[in-house]
Structure 1
Amino acid sequence: MSKTCHLFISHSWAYSDAYDKLTSLLDNHQNFSYKNFSVPQNNPIHTSGTDKELAEAIKNKISRSHAVIILAGVYSSYSKWIQKEIIIANQEFSTPKSIIAIEPWGSERTSRIVKDNADIIVKWNTISIVNAINKVAK
């Protein structure tokens, strides 16, 4: 088995089914090990923290990750938090974090903001996703 990849998987809780499907794909892939550094939905910082506290929590999680994965659905273009995660990954560390954009299965329209900031863009395919992660995880 290869090393454990540390991932920050960006998501919108309004579209958590895609996040759940992605983590299920990764969980069930043989010979792939990862640790998910995403901020869980039930974390009280989502409901009782300030925007600044949430941004710091996200930065802390991204700092421990090898890569940031962003689902490139159209909703990502309108999410202030996904845009903040892109800025954090690109600007808050001495070495920017790699961003992997995953185009949702069967999508005709995707987020230009996410794709413009991605180091790698892949389709919704387990092998492509795992290969992209392994390529950027250092």
Structure 2
Amino acid sequence: MKTYHLFISHSWNYGYQYNSLTTLLRNRPLFNFRNYSVPESNPIIGARTDKQLEVAIENKVKASSVVIIMMGVYSTYSKWINKEIAIAKRLGKPILAVKPYGATNTSSVVKGAADEICNWSTESVISAIRRLA
């Protein structure tokens, strides 16, 4: 069975969406993934400047086959999510935008950068990852 290498971009202020998505992926039978994300519980150690942090994130994105970004409106205003989009584009990594469950407003920035957009459901997300990887 294939293992999918994923970078899940997210804001630490909205960590519950990240946690929900990783739980959704982990609980799906017959789907394996390696998570290259930077959750609040496991930050990048040693990056003292924004440039060092950007290089560290770039290395994680480089190792990934798909970059997943939540389409919450907060994404439009996040400096780091915008940098992660730029890194993914520069490295030629496909971007999967996931509409947060029940969201009525979404980020036009993420929507414009996405190679594919899917709804918040296990099968939608898994199918999109498989198509993009």
Tell me if TM exceeds 0.5: yes
Alignment partner, residue 41 of structure 1: 40
One-letter identity of the residue aligned with 1:78 = Y
RMSD: 1.4
Counterparts of 1:5 and 1:107, CA distance in 2: 26
3-state SS of paired residue (1:15): helix
Structure 1 position 43, deviation (Å): 4.1
2:89 partner amino acid = N
Kindly state the Cα deviation for residue 39 of structure 1 after the two structures are TM-superposed: 1.8
SS of residue matched to 1:14: helix
Change (3 A) 1:76 1:24: same
Q: Choose which of 112, 122, 125 in structure 2 pairs with 1:129.
A: 125
Q: Distance in 2 between matches of 1:84 and 1:100?
A: 16
Distance 2:46 2:103 in 1: 31
SS at match of 2:64: coil
Q: Which runs of 4+ in 1 moved over 6 A?
A: none
For these two proteins, the number of residue pairs brought into alignment is 133
Shift, 1:47, TM fit:
8.7
SS of residue paired to 1:85 = helix
Gaps of 5+ in 1: none
Normalised TM-score (structure 1) = 0.92
Q: How does 1:1-138 map to 2 (within 5 A)?
A: 2-43=1-42, 45=44, 49-91=48-90, 93=91, 96-137=92-133
Distance 1:21 1:47, change over 3 A: farther
Aligned mates of 1:12, 1:46 — CA distance in 2: 18
Which stretches in structure 2 are left out of the alignment for 5+ residues? Answer: none
Shift of 1:50: 1.1
Query: Which 10-residue stretch deviates more, 33-42 or 15-24?
Result: 33-42
Displacement of 1:9: 0.3
Residues 81-134 of structure 1, C-alpha deviations (whole Å, 9 max, x = no match): 00000000001x2xx100000000111100000010000000101100000000
Contact 1:122 / 1:128 at 8 angstroms: preserved in 2? yes
